[in-house]
Every structure is written in C-alpha cells, then in structure tokens.
Chain A
Amino acid sequence: MTEAAREEIRRLAGLYEHRQSALIPALFVAQQEAGYLSPAVLESVAEVLELPVTEVTSVASFYGLFYLEPVGRHMVHVCTNLSCMLNGCQRLLSRMQEVMGIQPGETTPDGRFSLRAAECLGACEEAPAVLVDEDRWAAVSPEGVEPMLERYR
C-alpha cells in the first residue's frame, strides 16, 4: 500500500471517535488502489488502523462490494433480485455472459471485466439495474449491453 493510501486512511480514522468506524471507508481506499483486498493489503489496513487483522478480514468478507480475490479492471454487477427478475434480468445476464464469454463470478481472459450476479442494487424503480464500477445503469436491455460495455476499456 502506498504512503498516500496510508495517509488517507489515517485521515479517515481521525474523523471518528473509534478507529473501527473508519474501517469500511479505509477498505474502499485500499481496494481502489490495489484492485482487490489481498491478505497483504488487509494486513496493511489493520496495521494503519491498529485493528486486529481478524476483524478487518471479517468485515471485508461480509460485504459484496469488497473483493478478496483478484478481479478485472471493471466490475459488472447485474441485479437478480425481485424487481429486476420481473423485468427480465435473466435475459440481460445471458447477454452479458455471451458478450463477455464468461459466467457470473468469472473474469474475462484479458482482465477487462469481472461479472457478478448481485442482490438488490437499490434501483427497483429502474429495473433491471446494472452497476459497473461505481456507475449505475438503469433499465438496461439486452441490446444495450454492448454499447454500455464499450464505454469501459
């Protein structure tokens, strides 16, 4: 982890009364820099926040948006919860698989995309929803998949 990331985590820790409170934002800082939260990265976060590495790993493993394994440059989440399912997310997901040539949970051989089936993305009013990195895409049709992915190199 770079000194800049460490410094940012220390800054975050200073915002709260308890060091634990800064853990989730700190994990995002670390993940943004390293791509995913490897054991070594988790240890660095624990060291900077002076928290047990067991606790840091436990929290990281709880949330779907923290990646404990290597992932592609862009992470594509397709919501498969109720509203999105009723609005055809299965066809959308199939199209994604076809275009990327991978199954949910996998990464394209060129390391460009990782695909995940997600639980609720909190966008039921615009189902079916897709989250690419930090961009939320609404009412995506199977036909819209290719132009959408084109934007991410």
Chain B
Amino acid sequence: MAAEAPRTAVTLMIDGRGITVPKGTTVYQAARSAGVDIPIFCYHDRMPPLGACRMCLVEVQKMSKLQTACTLEASEGMVVSTTSPAVRAAQESMLELLLINHPLDCPICDKGGECPLQDQAFRYGPGRSRFIEAKRDHAKPLSLGPVLALDRERCILCWRCVRFGEIIAGDDALKGFERGFASEVGTPRALPVESKFIGNTIAICPVGALTSRTYRFRARPWDIDPVASTCTYCGVGCSVWLDVRGGEILRTRAREEPEVNDAWLCDLGFFGHGYVAAGDRLTTPLVRREGRLQEASWDEALDLVAERLRASAERGPGRVAFLGGRRLSNEDASAAAGFFRDVVGTPHLDHRVDAPPDGASLGVSWGLRSSLEDLGRGDVFVLVGCDITEEYPVLWLRIKAAIDRGASLVIVHAKRLEIRRHARRELLDRHDRLAPLVAALAADETVASGERVHVLLGRLAMDGPDGPNLLRSADSLVRRVNGTLHIARGRGNDFGAQRFGLLPGEGGMAAPGILQGAAAGAFDLLYVAGSDPATAVTDGAAWESARSGVGFLVVHEAFLSETAQAADVVLPALVLPEKDGTVTNLEGRTLALRAAVKGPGQARADREIFDLLAARMGVVRGHDTATRIEPVARIEPAAAGAGASPSLIVVVADRLFTQGSMAGRCRGLIELAGTAHCLIHPADAARAGVTDLGLVEMVTEHASVVVQARVSDVTLPGQVLVHRGYDGVPVHALARWSPAPAGVEVRPVAPPGGETP
C-alpha cells in the first residue's frame, strides 16, 4: 500500500498538527501514521473497521457528536482532537462501562502484562467505578476444545475473534450468541471449536477472554525471552516467536512477516513446540550389541560408523545410500550432501522418502513457481488433489484474501474439502479418476478467462494412481491459460534438502530405487537423517525388505522412532528449534532459525555429526559454500493405464493434526489429532455394515489395520480415506507401490465382549 503514490491526498489537523494522507485513509490510520495514539479495542488493521467498541472516539470540528476514528474517513481541512475534555470524558466513560462486567482478575489472568484493556484502563480510565451492583457471573473458564479456553466474564464483545473466523480464516469458528445483555461469543452449545487457526484469536483478543489451554498459568510476559525463529512443520515457513522460560519453549506466537505469513499462524505452529522438551528425547548414542540397542559414547559410535563406511569403500564405490532431509536445516542438508558425495563418494541420496516410484513426484522439483505474494495476487486458483488447509494452512489465508477481492477458486479432489463453501466450482471424483477432470478445466469459462491462474498440484494427485497423467493435464492446462503450475508437495525443509543437494547425483538412485537396491543387497550401509522411513515410505514392505537387505543402518534421530529401533547405530540429534541456521520454504525463500533452547544430554546437530565423521574419514570440512542443485522440471509421459479398477479403493490422505513424532508429543495437538480413523461414504458403510465411530478392519491383499470409522460424505462412494501420520497405525502397510489403485475391504470389528449381531 505504501508503495503506491496517493492519487489524491487530503490534509487534516490532528491535535494541532497538519497531516497529509492519501484519500480514503481513516482518521485513526492518519493519527497512527503521525504517531498520535488513539486507543482501540475492536479495530484490527488486517480487518475492515467495525466501530463496535467506541474506544476511539475523537472530536471533530463542525461535527455535532464525537466520532469513531477507526471508521471515519479523513477529509480535507478536518480538525480533529484526540485529547479534548469531551474526548477524555468519553474515554473514561467507555472504560468505566467496559469494566462494569469485567472481573478485574488481572492477578490471575494470563493476559496480564500484555493486555490492551489493562494498559488502556491505566492510561485512559477513570480509576474508579460507580457500579455497585453484582457483576455478570459465569462459570470460568469454558473449555472450547483441547487448546482454547473462554472466560466470558472478561470478554468485552469487540468481535475481533468472530470476525477473524469470518474474514481472515473463512471457517466461521467463533460466533456471537444471544442478544443484548446476554450476548456472548463462543461456539454452539460450547462444543469444541472447529478451526485450524484458533491460536490467532487468542493472539488478537484484546483482553484475557480467549486464552491458550497449553499456556495458561505457565508464565508472565516479563518472564519470557522471545526468540525470533521459523516454524518448520509444513513448509510455508511462518515467522514465529518462540517464548522461552527456564530453558523450555512455553509458547509460540506469530511474528509479523508480510511476505510469508503476514500476522498469522496455524494451530500446528501455535501449539507444536511441546515435542522439543519431551521426556523421551534421545540423549546418548546407541549401538546395537548382542541384538539390543545399548548406550555408547560418541567416540565408540562414530568410530564404528566410520569403520563401516571405510569397509564399504574398500568393497567398491556407491555401496552406501542416504535417505532423509525433511527435518534437517539447510546447513545440515548441505553438510550431508557434501559428506556423502565427496567424502563417502556415493550418488545415492534422496530426501523424497515418501514418494512412490511410479507417481509424478520424482520427475519434478517441489515447491511453488512464484513467490507467496505473487500467488496471492492471482485471480483464479485451481487446487488439484491439494487439501490446502490440511497441508499448507497459512497459504490458504492468502487464497481466501484473494477470493474476497474477487478471485475464483476451483477444486479438483477426491474429497469434499472444508473450504468448499468458498469455491466457485468443485469437481469431485474417485482418486483414480481425477485426470479427465483437470483436462476438462481448459473449457471452464472462469479458468480460461483468468489472467493470473495458479494451479496447485498436491501430493494426493501426484502420487495417486493417475499421477503422471494429472501432472501432464495440469501442465497443459497452465500452458493454455498462461498460468503457473505449483508443485504443492513436500513438508518441513524438503525444499532446503532439494536445494542443497539431497537428491540423486549422476547415476544415483531415487528414494524408491535406494529402497529396492537395499533389498537386493546393493548397499553395505544405509544412512538416515531427518526422516523416519519406517513410517513414511508409502509401501510398508519396501522399507521392511530394504532394512533386512542392508547390512548396517545408521540413523540420526531425536526420538527412538521405528526406523531408529531397527538401526545398528542411533545418533542423538538436535531438533530444529535447538539450532542456529536456515531453512528454505516452499517458495524457495531462505528463513532464519535461531536456537531457542539447548538440546538434551549429548545430542548434537546433524551437521556437526557429519563433520565429526568426515574428520574420522580423514577430511576436514568447512561450510562456506553449499552445493546448489536446482532440478529442472521434467514431465515424463504417463505410464500405460492400469487394469480393472477395484470397487472400493483406499487412499492415504494428509491431515494437519496427526500423532507423528513431533505433533504426537505436543499437548493440545494430541487431542486435536484424536484417534486414527478412516472416512467411508454412507453408501459403502451401509453395504459393509459399518457404523459411524465403530471400529473397522481395513483389509488389503497385503495387510490389515484396525481404525475407527467415520461415516461421512466428505469422501466419495467407492473410496475409503485414511490418514497418514498416526505412527501407531501403519497405513502404508496396506498398499504396495503400484500404478493401480489399491483395493480394500472394510469389515466392522465387534467390540470385545460385545454382542454378536
């Protein structure tokens, strides 16, 4: 906004000072730009003004009544006072009225010390109350789900939280109920709030009405040290403050970064730091002796790894492979790539651990093909197999803002997305039949007439049975409409791993090839860092046979993951909030990480581990330059169509809240993830005798898993959706890599001791 020259300017007087602002500026904004402080509660600069709280009243010459500065447009020659006796009296009255029902329980309120109501009562308030009647009395606090607590007595009905859900997130999570004196914000019948962005409402609440259940009573703002860093969950790379006290991260907050996350975070980011301080972090190296992993010193462990690497080198080059990268920093990734390419001498490295061999993911580089800001300026968005609020939530906020400015959203998916209400068109079909829908989009009037069309191709599309065809259809669509094709694939620092060389080199194998090679005995040693292939590889048997075919497995891990449990050497690694460095987000932007806390025990940064190993192999490494490898997007012709399609297929989908190794150790997120479940269409459920919330066994020709069933038309007939990311439920065991969709049978499981129907 600031970059645009004002077409016409107006000059007004505020408190005796002449201020020139672009036409259309409000008096509040004009005052703020000149450093004049006007108190506000309901106004928030990311939302249109409302004028509900009346705190910003100012006196304007020639206007008979006091005016709300947040809604009043500045005009030429306007003379405004923010300090006249009438304004002062109004400010005192407003605060006196707001405080009538406010409990003034600041000493036990989490907001104390960072509370606009407290600050303004101190600065502008009357210092006394004439109200002698009983105050409003509510049970407190009201729990609205695992992370949000509502104290209705403290609420001043500014509507910020309600409007955030309507305007910014588009999820309408919180609303006003009842009327007049009985008005309150909340959810229908105080049900758990349904939102992926509710942490933001806690952040923008100007009083202590909305507080975080994971942070309540943990600290005061003056006790915590905020560390500026970056969230590393989904790949958007939101800027955060990590609030640290006593060596522990107690709270995560959004840090304003207009080009990435603006002022927002998703709840995975807000409540996702607990794993760092989890009690089951690995603190010493572990070495397998007599079949069991046992504690060892760093020297023992590193000597053993170095010895195995040397022994492999003696047998010939390229007999070592590396998998992982998603949870590494750029520096770690660069050190790993350098170590394996130059010191070990192998081209077999890949971070794309969850990519199948026959999808479209291995042929293209992952990430956006424009900046987030450019994407936000689009006028047509096509989401193909991309469940944006489950995969890249804060990216959705940008698209939502574009829709509000007139852009159109078209969804092509195998699932009814929660944002479907905002879509102009929704094209649904079973997972294995999506490609024709994309091809047909070229004839869609909105898409064809779009000037800035952005197509986001997601994992579900690329790795599905028709992945290569979908990629080709999407590619020809953007060529026809002169749009941009984004590969919405990858999480964490996959984008840094890709950029800094954790990809197959000349003659190197990709991740599926490495696994198949390992199974066939092509490698002496498999090395894993920043990944948990045992749960991530989408063909459960591929990992099992790779593990048994390789002589020696080395794993860097923060927890005793399934991969670590199968390892010969486990080296305890720091997690990203414990490291200085950088990560790369999905648009390719480099973002800073700052070590917020120290790691546990003897855990070390991955990069340091690689350096120590290199030194043992006789190479001392510096890190001035990183190998930059930018793979070129290649679009391969589609594989021949698969055979007959089964009547019920299983699709492994993504979910924001899961019980993986990080989120599964964070209070609040565990409850949000809930139990592992599958989504089955009512028609299929009726046929299989499956009831909502009952346990079912999903049986494929390879394996079976037991999960809870949710009967829902979010999925389509003929297709069962099951979520990955619940480490206790090995959904990837259900399928094998294959270009054909995986058939599944779903059977109800009688509860133990239950009646037999």
Contacts and interface: CB of A to CB of B under 8 A. Distances in A.
B404 to A, nearest CB: 14
A54 B178 contact: no
A58 B177 contact: yes
Contacts of B177: 57-58, 61-62
Contacts of B90: none
A42 interface: yes
Contact of A62 (B178, B187, B188, B421): B178
A126 interface: no
A25 interface: no
Interface in A40-62: 42, 50-55, 57-58, 61-62
A45 B174 CA distance: 18
B179 interface: yes
B178 A42 contact: no
A52 B189 contact: no
A54 B173 contact: yes
B521 to A, nearest CB: 57
Contacts of A50: 421
B175 A62 contact: no
Query: Range of interface residues on chain A?
Result: 10 to 19
A146 B750 CA distance: 58
Chain A binding surface SS class: helix
Nearest to B171: A52
Most buried by B among A50, A52, A57: A52
Most buried by B among A53, A54, A55, A57: A54
A81 B116 CA distance: 38
Nearest to B187: A54
Interface residues of B, number: 14
A57 B188 contact: yes
B248 interface: no
B551 interface: no
Contacts of A62: 176-179
A58 B176 contact: yes
B225 interface: no
A55 B421 CA distance: 13
Interface of A: 39, 42, 50-55, 57-58, 61-64
Interface of B: 165, 171-179, 187-189, 421
Query: Nearest 9 A-B pairs (CB), nearest first?
Result: A52-B172, A58-B175, A57-B188, A61-B177, A54-B175, A54-B172, A62-B179, A61-B178, A55-B172
25 contacts: A39-B188, A39-B189, A42-B188, A50-B421, A52-B171, A52-B172, A52-B421, A54-B165, A54-B172, A54-B174, A54-B175, A54-B187, A55-B172, A55-B175, A57-B177, A57-B189, A58-B177, A58-B188, A61-B177, A61-B178, A61-B179, A62-B177, A62-B178, A62-B179, A64-B179
Given A54-B173, A54-B187, 19 more contacts: A39-B189, A50-B421, A51-B421, A54-B165, A54-B174, A54-B175, A54-B188, A55-B172, A55-B175, A57-B175, A57-B188, A57-B189, A58-B177, A58-B188, A61-B177, A61-B178, A62-B178, A62-B179, A63-B179
